[in-house]
Structure 1
């Protein structure tokens, strides 16, 4: 029987919501929607590149804790609150896939996210070798 393994990163701020950063089922990893909180729980407010880099860093840490990395990410779902951040998002996102092997992806512009100062949130699905 396959079991669920709840993944969190030691030393990272615990979000005061009923969610787990990621869940591993067999060799599949499901990463929750991740906002731009740093390890101390501080949000990079008002600056999209800072929030984007923090989100990607947070996901990098989760992937590593689960035993995988960006090269094994199969799909990303990206939520932006401002359409004008799309190009900047793409530029920063591309840095994590230098070989040009992109995962499947959807990017949506949404009216809002759970907190007014969240500019984006990213969830992804990955293989754990």
Structure 2
């Protein structure tokens, strides 16, 4: 029998309007969808990359915490940026979530656009849970 899928929705986070789950847990793996920078009210800091990056990381932190995990359990990250000039700032904010210097595998891509015109980034990841 295969492991059941558990669809993860975190109380207090923005409500997804698209046909997707913010995260899906199956067995000891959790797949976190591409997360944009919406705050709990569904607002986005238009044009402010550091604010969007920090919000996205906070949202993922909340998703991980909802299953008793942290960034130390993340094995793979995909970062999508719409502006190449945000790469260094992304790295600075991202690295702060890994104070021990043990980073997950990561791919960063500069993309032409994302689903909403104000999205400057989206981050998805896979975590291995205890």
How would you bin the TM-score normalised by the shorter chain? over 0.9
What is aligned with 1:34? 35
After superposition, where does 1:1-129 map in structure 2 within 5 Å? Answer: 1=1, 2-129=3-130
Shift in Å, 1:13: 1.6
Shift in Å, 1:12: 1.5
Give unpaired runs (5+ residues) of structure 1: none
Matched residue of 2:7: which SS? strand
What are the Cα deviations for residues 87-128 of structure 1, in whole angstroms up to 9, with x where unaligned?
000000000000000000000000000001100000000011
The 8 Å contact of residues 36 and 52 in structure 1, kept in 2 or not, is answered as yes
Cα distance in 1 for partners of 2:36, 2:97 equals 17
The 8 Å contact of residues 24 and 66 in structure 1, kept in 2 or not, is answered as no
Cα distance in 2 for partners of 1:59, 1:9 equals 10
Matched residues, number:
129
The 8 Å contact of residues 44 and 51 in structure 1, kept in 2 or not, is answered as yes
Matched residue of 1:36: which SS? coil
Give unpaired runs (5+ residues) of structure 2: none
TM-score (norm 2): 0.97
Shift in Å, 1:44: 1.5
What are the Cα deviations for residues 45-98 of structure 1, in whole angstroms up to 9, with x where unaligned?
110000000000000000001221100100000000000000000000000000
The 8 Å contact of residues 78 and 108 in structure 1, kept in 2 or not, is answered as yes
Shift in Å, 1:19: 0.7
